A and B are shown apart, each in its own frame.
Chain A
Amino acid sequence: MTLLGLALRDLRARPAQPLLAVLLTALAVALLAALLSFADQFERRMARDAAGVDLVVGAKGSPLQLVLAGVYHLDIPPGNIPLAEVESLRRNRLVAEAIPLALGDSFRGHRIVGAGHEYLALYGGRLAEGRLYEEPMEAVLGSEAARSTGLRRGDRFHGAHGLGEGGHEHEEESYEVTGVLAPTGTVLDRLILTPVESVWWMHAGHAEDDAAFEASRREVTVALVRYASPVAVALLPRQINAASALQAASPAFEMARLMTLLGAGRDALAALAGLLLLTAGAALAAGLMATLAARRYELAVMRMLGAGRATLFASVLIEAAAIGLAGALAGLVLGHVFLAGLNAWLSSAGQPLVAVGHFAPWELSLPVLALAASLLAGLWPAWQAARSDVAAILARG
Chain B
Amino acid sequence: MSAPLVSVGGFAHCYPGAEEVVSPDFDLAERERLLLLGPSGCGKSTLLMALAGLLAPSRGAVCIAGEDWRGFAGAAADRRRGRLIGFVPQEPHLIAGLSVAENVRLAVFLAGRPDQSAALEETLEALGIAQLAGRYPHALSRGQQQRVALARAVANRPPLLLADEPTASLDDAAGAAALDLLFAAADRVGAGLIVATHDLRVQTHFPRRVTLGAPTTSRAAQQRTPVTPSPWERGGGRAVQ
Contacts and interface: CB of A to CB of B under 8 A. Distances in A.
Interface in B82-101: 82-83, 85, 87, 89-91, 93, 95-98
Given A1-B102, A13-B97, A297-B91, A390 B110 contact: no
Interface in B43-101: 45-46, 48-49, 52, 54-55, 74-75, 78-79, 81-83, 85, 87, 89-91, 93, 95-98
A396 B97 CA distance: 23
A308 B95 contact: no
Contacts of A394: 45, 49, 54, 87, 89, 164
Contacts of B49: 390-391, 394-395
A305 B106 contact: yes
Contact of B97 (A9, A297, A304, A310): A9
Nearest to B107: A305
A99 B102 CA distance: 75
B105 interface: yes
B187 interface: no
A306 B91 contact: no
Contacts of A304: 52, 54, 81, 85, 87, 89
A9 B52 CA distance: 27
B75 A308 contact: yes
A301 interface: yes
B45 A395 contact: yes
Contacts of B106: 1, 6, 302, 305
Interface residues of A, number: 28
A1 B105 CA distance: 8
A396 B46 CA distance: 10
Interface in A291-316: 297-298, 300-311
B112 interface: yes
A44 interface: no
Contacts of A390: 49, 54
A361 interface: no
B172 interface: no
A242 B83 CA distance: 92
A250 to B, nearest CB: 63
A304 B93 CA distance: 12
Contacts of B79: 306, 308
A129 to B, nearest CB: 61
Contacts of A300: 93
Interface residues of B, number: 37
Interface in A264-321: 297-298, 300-311
Contact of A397 (B83, B89, B156): B89
A12 B97 contact: yes
A298 B93 contact: yes
A13 B96 contact: yes
A11 B158 CA distance: 30
B111 interface: yes
B78 A306 contact: yes
Given A304-B81, A310-B75, A395 B46 contact: yes
The residue in B54, B90, B91, B115 that gathers the most chain A C-beta atoms within 10 A of its C-beta is B54
A306 B96 contact: no
A358 interface: no
A218 interface: no
- Nearest first, the 9 A-B pairs at minimum CB distance are A306-B82, A13-B97, A395-B45, A9-B97, A391-B49, A391-B55, A308-B78, A306-B111, A297-B93
Interface of A: 1, 6, 9-14, 297-298, 300-311, 390-391, 394-397
Given A10-B97, A297-B93, A306-B78, 6 more contacts: A9-B97, A297-B91, A306-B107, A310-B75, A311-B78, A394-B87
